[in-house]
Homo-oligomer: A and B are copies of this chain.
């Protein structure tokens, strides 16, 4: 349903009857529409965390390829669950729990990016420059927004097939100059 229209345009009545139950019964399982979204988002985020954790941390071998692989995880998982991802990104504003879950994950990813940038600077591969944490924040926010735009098919947006190229290009040039 989220693939067709935003969560706001889906009534709990629809959700419930679609699941073969009545509206009050829906409330037996979830406390609100956003509670459903939260459960779905949680699964998507777990999948990202799982795949990120399994990534080799060999930035000293081929930095470009390593960054590209990391970004590819986000692109792939969020693309696979594009409807939920898009709904979460927009639902974040409305719902505190969705906001917090998303914010927590973003912080994890920003923290990870920051560490790698600092390590690359420490080994002399990347030059000093703006604060690594702020650079990582801007780049992660860019990824979020660019993917969101691609999912909802807005204009302007970047075609799905080029997203990974464009994003990793900007990351690498921003970090290594």
Seen from chain A, the residues whose Cβ lies within 8 Å of a Cβ on chain B are 6, 8, 90, 93-94, 99, 103, 106-107, 110, 129-131, 134-135, 137-142, 144-146, 149, 154-159, 162, 165-167, 169-170, 173-174, 177
A-side interface mostly: helix
Residues of B within 8 A of A166 (CB): 130-131, 134-135, 137-138
Contact partner of A140 among B131, B156, B174, CB < 8 A?
Answer: B156
Known: A135-B166, A141-B142, A141-B149. A155 touches B107 (CB 8 A): yes
How many angstroms from the CA of A44 to the CA of B166 in the assembled complex?
A: 30
Once the chains are docked, how many angstroms separate the CA of A11 from the CA of B74?
38
Q: Provided the pairs A138-B142, A169-B130 are in contact, do residues A156 and B103 lie with their beta carbons within 8 angstroms?
A: yes
Whether B170 lies near A138 (C-beta < 8 A) is yes
Contact between chains at B158 and A94 (CB < 8 Å): no
Chain B residues near A137 (CB-CB < 8 A): 146, 149, 156-158, 166
Complex CA–CA separation, A138 to B8 (angstroms): 27
A107 contact set on B, CB distance < 8 A: 155-156
Whole-angstrom CA separation of A135 from B166 in the bound complex: 6
**Beta-carbon nearest neighbor of A8 in chain B:** B94
18 pairs, A vs B, C-beta closer than 8 Å: A6-B93, A8-B94, A90-B90, A106-B156, A130-B162, A131-B162, A134-B158, A134-B159, A134-B162, A134-B166, A135-B170, A137-B146, A137-B149, A137-B158, A139-B170, A141-B142, A141-B149, A144-B145
